[in-house]
A and B are shown apart, each in its own frame.
Chain A
Amino acid sequence: MEPLFAIVIGIMFAITVFLFLSRSFVRIVLGIFMLSNATHLLIFTAGRLTFESPPLIPYDQSVPIEAIANPLPQALILTAIVISFALFAFVLILTYRAYQELGTVDVDEMNASEPRAAASEEAAE
């Protein structure tokens, strides 16, 4: 089962890289979303996959009787999902605001914070 997950995660990372290489900022933001999802799956798989044995301890026991699924990766993923979801929402809104102000989502045209004006002035002199 793990190899199948590994392949799926690999494909998701490949899609991420493809999206990151785009000039459109919206695609880059979607790439971040894809990347965080791939990462969550990766943590899940790295914690080993176990079938049909929830991490429950019987009432009169203090330790699990047989091998159980590892609950820790799921706790980690839950934390990571909350964080990445919030940040994704923030970046999405930021992209929209930047689009309103700059009138573009093309990374090649985004040079307000690093103006090329200085270089072109020197060329003109």
Chain B
Amino acid sequence: MNGAALSDWLVVAPLVLGLVGSGLCAVFWWRPLAQTIIGFATTIAMTVTAAMLFARVLAGGPQVMAMGNWPAPFGIVFAADTLGAGMALLTALVGVLTLIYSMGDQSEDFRRAGYTPLLLAMLAGVTGAFLTGDIFNLYVWFEVLLIGSFGLLVLGGRKDQLEGALKYAVLNLLATTIFLIATGLLYGLVGTLNMADIAVKVAAVENRGLVNAIAALYLMAFGMKAAAFPLFFWLPASYHTPQPGVSAIFGGLLTKVGVYALIRTFTLIFPLDGGIFNDLFMWIAAATILFGGMGALVQTDLRRLVAFTVVGGIGYMLVGLALTTHAALSGGLFYMLHSVLISTGLFMAVGVAGRIGGAFDTSVLAGIYRATPAFAAIFLLGAFVVSGIPPLSGFWPKVVLVQASIAAGQPWLAAAVLTGGFLTLLAVSKAFALAFWRDSEAPLPVPETSPRAFASLMGPTAVIIVMAAMLGMFAEPAARIASAAAEELLRPAAYVAAVLGDGA
């Protein structure tokens, strides 16, 4: 028996590293410093391996590894295509930045309570979800990331945190259970769990009613995970309650796992063919954009405002999926890249603003511009990025989506995209005017943060927001990668052949 080639291990390397790092951190439970060092070593190694994997996928198409050398479709396979490997790379990158941020954000107590191992476990879960090629395995990764996120959410144990965690826990458990129900039914229908194999067999099923019912269950489960309308209410109820660093990584990554799962299932297993599901997706996308924008507009708590912009962002990605044209899907994927960076960045920035001003609510918070003009400039840049001011990165995917909507004969969807951008701009401008520009009546509280901690909060915030902005100025490579990823998704034959072998 010849083992898997060493290079094949690259496919699972990022997530194995995450799990090992998490376990190692748990070994050094009482030594926060050791945990932090392990955390950095792990996330940096994850970034490097994910980057290598991504380079290989770009050069040579989908990379596949069969666990335990069981040939597909019998064993569990891990399959990285452009979308999956790219998202794994982003996950690791955001992980590194969040760890730097939490050096200033998380107190010693939280680190002793297991912050780093939980974070690494969650990162491993997210990476696993992006890389697996087996639908039951996807469920397991969902649960892994859910367990990690539960722990991170309740760290600190404040009143509102516990309550937010309850709502988050119940609704997310419900979503994963619906996912499991759908998977059970799908297994009963086609008798396989390998996603590529399912794709081949579902296409041959004659009972389309049953297939559509299962697809609807998946839509509900992943829609809830992705915080799409009308199932997003758990997100603004819980994402603002933990420490800002935790909110940042939640806002940046977790909902995108839901969107990723939607994109994967509805391009590979139940390809959208212009039927009822396309219409459904269009309505969901438009409603998510508008409710996200309107929700952001009425918030006074900056953290909740950002949470609603995260919800709105989900809508743009779904527009790409709903239209199912190559241009639209690549626009949606480009938006996903943008949204991972800017959602993380804005949550981080809001955390810094709260540190400086001593509050998160714009009815109290004021005068940050006078205190720290440089930080105000960074926040403003982030605000412009998220609302899609040209030439920043929110702008280009929206151009593509508007063009694609009109080309597909759905101008109302283009209107929703534009209105959503406008609402977001209003919301963030209002926040900037109140919290930053307005002079504070009382002097700002003297921050308890040491200059060193402050630097570690500020550094990653600035880096990620500037990265998101630069993404717009140098949009060409990102757009090309998004286009290649969309191409792969719309023509899954290469993915299926890579997983099942060329004989299938």
Contacts and interface: CB of A to CB of B under 8 A. Distances in A.
Interface of A: 20, 25, 28-29, 32, 35-36, 39, 42-43, 45-48, 72-73, 76, 79-80, 83-84, 86-87, 90-91, 94-95, 97-98, 101-102, 110-114, 118, 121
A84 to B, nearest CB: 8
A110 B146 contact: no
A94 B162 contact: yes
Which 3 residue pairs across A and B have the least CB separation, nearest first?
A: A46-B188, A43-B184, A113-B164
Contact of A102 (B139, B143, B150, B159): B159
A35 B177 contact: yes
A82 B160 CA distance: 29
Interface string B146-170: 1100100010010111111111011
A82 B22 CA distance: 20
B80 to A, nearest CB: 23
B178 to A, nearest CB: 9
Interface in B233-277: 236-238, 240-241
Given A98-B163, A98-B166, A87 B147 contact: yes
Interface of B: 136, 139-140, 143, 146-147, 150, 154, 157, 159-167, 169-170, 173-174, 177, 180-181, 183-185, 187-189, 193, 236-238, 240-241, 300, 363
A112 B163 contact: yes
B163 A47 contact: no
Nearest to B143: A83
B173 A101 contact: no
Given A102-B159, A112-B163, A35 B174 contact: yes
A87 B166 contact: no
Contacts of A29: 170
A29 B140 CA distance: 21
A94 to B, nearest CB: 6
29 contacts: A25-B166, A32-B174, A32-B177, A35-B174, A42-B184, A43-B183, A46-B187, A46-B188, A47-B187, A72-B187, A76-B136, A76-B184, A79-B136, A80-B180, A83-B140, A87-B150, A90-B147, A94-B162, A95-B166, A98-B162, A98-B163, A98-B165, A101-B162, A102-B163, A110-B163, A113-B161, A113-B167, A113-B238, A114-B236
